[in-house]
Chain A
Amino acid sequence: MTAPLDAPESAQHAEPEAIARGRRDTESRSLTQIAWRRLRQDRVALGGGAFVALLILVAVFAPLLTAWFGHPPNQFHQDLIDPATQGVLKDPDDPWSGIDPTGGMSAEHLLGLEPVNGRDLFSRIVYGARISLLVAFLSTLLCVVIGTVLGIVAGYLGGWVDTVISRAMDIFLAFPLLLFAIALAGVIPDDAFGLSDNALRIAVLVFIIGFFSWPYIGRIVRGQTLSLREREFVEAARSMGAGTGYILFREILPNLVAPILVYATLLIPTNILFEAALSFLGVGVNPPTPTWGGMLSESLAYYTVAPHFVIIPGLAIFVTVLAFNLFGDGLRDAFDPRSSD
């Protein structure tokens, strides 16, 4: 091959001028279009993407969905609960019928009921998706913004700026985050910064997760910027008289969109897990608002009488994380074909 190794794939098979000149304009594609074309051929990634899209729809339309089934997430169905064991009754009309091993799954209650007070699990999972996704998306956004800005500045300017930012990244990564989060949960007031109750709790979750995970994105962006900085188009921009701001945000940033998008997609499932972990530890939103992690935490006390109560939120977390990861992997392969084959 005569083409340099860093050239995009298509350049390595560059045709002689005559052929390329004769090609029609309609065949011109941006790199994003090429990536999209590759992504469409990746069934696994598309499956993941479809699930993610479905999940987002479910979360957005949660009130409609639960209204359709007629069970608000916090409605009690104590008549269906066995008062002795707190499990779900096999036959609602017969208080002595014993525990239903499926947890009361039926056409009426798709995923069964919670033990103790008999709330509809499907509704709670659907509402739990709202919190999980909201926190994961917002905290990822926070990560991306902080990480991109600091990473690009550190990578491009170098010198002492790079040293300061890179050491800051080290410190943030070494921070005992979980302990900090648990300690913080104990001292969160009922309202602060004009926010109260759940809004404040969500804000705290987003802040904790986003503010302490930015170095992951920051390091990737810094590394990419270091190599982009050496490309001749940056020198070309300087030779036209472009200022630092122009070079950073008009020349370099567009080249970082693909890696940032990919790592953001892979960071979302991590943040979903993080949120679940924090909710599990009781740092998350206040009951009775449902969250997947919170449900998992509650379920442990009843795993003998209601095993489905453990499995279903666990499965929700697992499938969501898996779907995001598959989609993210597919996205990465689509943008950088060399990583896959």
Chain B
Amino acid sequence: MTTPETGNRNDALPVVSVRDLSITFPTADGDVHAVKNLSFEVAQGGALGVVGESGSGKSVTSLALMGLHRGTRARISGEIRIAGTDVVTADDRTIRAMRGNDIAMVFQDPMSSLHPQYTIGNQLVEAYLTHRPGAGKAEARRRAVEVLDRVGIPEPARRINSYPHEFSGGMRQRVLIAMGLVCEPKVLLADEPTTALDVTVQAQILDLLDELRRDLGMALILVSHDLAVVAGSVDEVLVMRKGEAVERGDVRRVLGSPQHPYTRQLLAAVPRVEVTRAQRRAQLRAEREGRPVPVAAEPPRPAGQTGEEPLLVVRDVRQRFRIRGGLFGSSTDFYAVDGVSFDLYRGETLGVVGESGSGKSTLSRMVMRLLEPTEGSIVFQGRDITHLPERKMRPLRRDIQMVFQNPYSSLNPRMTVGESIGAPLRIQGERNSKLIRSRVQELLERVGLEPSHYNRFPHAFSGGQRQRIAIARALILRPKLVICDEPVSALDVSTQDQVLRLLAELQEDFDLTLIFVAHDLAVVRQISDRVLVMCKGKIVETGDSDEVYENPQHPYTRQLLAAAPVLDPDEARAHRAERARLRGGQPQAEAV
């Protein structure tokens, strides 16, 4: 069953063929055309990447491929053929037989796609028996163990009896892939399979999908908002925008010489790990002033070598969380942050990189004094704020503000945007509503929104716009230090780029010192002067951002760098080989 080469497959019949697909949703505000005249094919064993920002219709399309729009109010026209079945017109029984046997789907969120009350074994066996009614329980179980082993779950025969909550996010995504594989489908449809995962886990899942596709000769449709995610795993790319196909072609051609301006725009938005901070800064500055991009990058600014007093001094901070123990309530201690020290100078940007659980969010909440450090000290502008009571902390909050990760939950849905942005002023004792209003409108304009949006509620804005609002709120008190906790990780690549540009501009205009927390190395490199790499609550590497990226010392940093998605398909495959080599050096159990 192995098909080692990916190149010419034109002789094979397409296993998926979509022609003139249009999907329309009637809503109270009129019809929404989610997909318009979309056509594409995927050959047997081929791989197609579907790329577009949210709202481009890519998820709607993948649901339609599975026949999941049946029974909803969506109107579908055109033709979808999957392994000979016409999904649009076939009866329900045929569709049920098609799902699982011909096409299987891997959903985005591994945390909510598995049933929490059943063991993964039960769920796999059920999936198998549904599609192979004649099969016996024992056979189904044997098959379940087999696929779990196939997707790299260690000790599958034992783990099959575990419940979903006993697995990490990456492992759950593997289980979901196993569930898709159990009936040996001809097509595996993965809708944003790695968006909820860390970079290193993302790399592992993508590697797994690539390997499975090659070994099982299955076709793969990989849906993502990030071109860099699909680059190394597909033969063909389909770029979608507002429900229409903008560009379609061989992955090397589309990424190498994009024809459509939108594709070029998407490509430009992808943060590249190989671009240094200085280059990026020069580029942004040039764009702002309308000059052509200078070839030579300006030298990086010296940080903290002028002998000035650091703005923030963090020494050996630790944060302990008590984990409640078993029956007799004996609790164990867990240090989320364990002995972290750093200095931060005025005007500098410090990047903090790490996977989820590395303690980077806890660290930022300690500096913000939303958490009181268990040990160590935090000195801000020469004043020890480690154990300052809330009452004395309040005036200092003017100088330290924070931009949160999730733009959907960081704005109060019941407050207008204007009220939200003005709230810090009001809390800090400003009573003049006219003054507050004018300051808010000024800032709205500064972050690229209409001042007349003052009375709108957050739900009327997109994720990127909400993040702009959150940034405006953090800036209204004219703080000296702004902590950005994963400010762009919930956003699409193109929106991400816009928000990063805004942050860079504002840093210059408002003379801000930034702590920038993220799991994406490329993003951090472009914005930071110095980088801290965190792992399990400790700093494993620190240094000038270019140094860390070009000459990583710690194996963990190297692993992170190898996992970062890159745009060049050939380089992506080289990275994949490098990852396989790095993985070979460590025991299986450490794979996440």
Contacts and interface: CB of A to CB of B under 8 A. Distances in A.
Interface of A: 1-8, 10-11, 13-17, 19-21, 23, 25, 27-31, 37, 231-233, 235-243, 246, 251, 254-255, 257
A1 B108 contact: yes
22 contacts: A2-B492, A7-B459, A10-B460, A14-B55, A14-B461, A14-B463, A17-B465, A17-B495, A31-B414, A31-B457, A232-B404, A232-B406, A235-B402, A235-B410, A236-B410, A238-B370, A239-B397, A239-B402, A241-B397, A241-B428, A251-B415, A255-B413
Nearest to B457: A30
B413 A240 contact: no
A7 B408 contact: yes
Interface of B: 28, 32, 53-56, 59, 108-109, 112, 192, 195, 225, 242, 365, 368, 370, 390, 393-395, 397-398, 400-402, 404-406, 408-415, 420, 423-424, 427-428, 449-450, 452-453, 455-457, 459-465, 470, 473, 477, 490, 492, 495, 498
Contacts of B395: 241
A20 B225 CA distance: 19
Contacts of A242: 423, 427
Contacts of A29: 457, 460
B54 A2 contact: yes
B393 A241 contact: yes
Nearest to B455: A28
A58 B408 CA distance: 45
Contacts of B465: 17, 20-21
A16 B423 contact: no
A1 B463 CA distance: 13
Contacts of A16: 53-56, 242, 462
A11 B408 contact: yes
A3 B427 contact: no
Contacts of B464: 17
Contacts of A14: 54-55, 461-463
B423 A232 contact: no
Contact of A239 (B55, B368, B408, B463): B368
A2 to B, nearest CB: 4
Contacts of B456: 25, 28
A2 B108 contact: yes
Nearest to A1: B59
Contacts of A27: 460
A328 to B, nearest CB: 21
A235 to B, nearest CB: 6
Given A28-B460, A235-B404, A255 B490 contact: no
Contact of B28 (A21, A37, A232): A37
Contacts of B473: 236
Given A17-B462, A29-B457, A232-B405, 13 more contacts: A1-B108, A11-B408, A15-B55, A16-B56, A17-B465, A17-B495, A25-B453, A31-B414, A236-B410, A236-B473, A237-B412, A239-B402, A241-B397
A122 to B, nearest CB: 42
A239 B393 contact: no
Contacts of B192: 2
A21 B452 CA distance: 11
Contact of B408 (A4, A31, A236, A243): A4
Contacts of A6: 408-409
A241 B427 contact: yes
Contacts of B406: 4, 232
A334 to B, nearest CB: 13
Contacts of A4: 406, 408-409, 490
Nearest to B365: A235
B108 A233 contact: no
Contact of B414 (A240, A243, A246, A254): A254
Nearest to A257: B414
A239 B401 contact: yes
A243 B470 CA distance: 20
Most buried by B among A2, A241, A242: A2
A226 to B, nearest CB: 15
Contacts of B108: 1-2
Given A17-B495, A239-B368, A246 B427 contact: yes
